[in-house]
Amino acid sequence: MLKNILIIGAGGFIGSVLRYLVQLYIDKGLNSTFPLGTLVANIAGSFLIGIVFALAEKGNLLSAEWRMFLAIGICGGFTTFSTFAFNNFVMIQERNTVQLFLNIGGSLFFGILAVYLGIVIIRLIF
């Protein structure tokens, strides 16, 4: 149990730091309140988790520890529902309905599409 917690925690640390860097880099040059950095992190994380689970279904390509490290740890730390929810709340408060619906719709559509593409790519390769 402690081993799994440490594996997931290490992955979560890496994923959280990567998310921070992605958001910092993407949002740095924007003169917009639209949370593009969060959107990109969530879509990229969705793509990565699609890859991880597609590799996992191939049998012996990923051990249980690697799945926990990559999916729960890194992808879990990299993607963020709480920031997504907060960004949407701010857009509601600011009555910015166009950006609100773009963020919600884009996150859901492109997130699901990214998972699908990650799975399809791995299935084509293996």
Q: Look at the pTM and tell me if it is higher than 0.95.
A: no
Residue 36 and residue 17: Cα distance in Å, rounded? 17
Residue 96 and residue 22: Cα distance in Å, rounded? 24
∠126-77-69 over CA atoms, to 5°? 45
- pLDDT value of position 29: 78
- pLDDT value of position 84: 96
Q: Please give the average per-residue pLDDT across 16-37, as a whole number.
A: 91
For 35, the token pair is 């949370």
Longest dimension (CA), the chain: 50
- pLDDT value of position 59: 79
- pLDDT value of position 58: 86
Q: How many domains does the chain have?
A: 1
Query: For 52-79, what is each residue's pLDDT tens digit?
Result: 999 998 878 899 999 999 999 999 999 9
Expressed as residue numbers, the domain containing 118 is 2-125
Residue 116 and residue 99: Cα distance in Å, rounded? 25
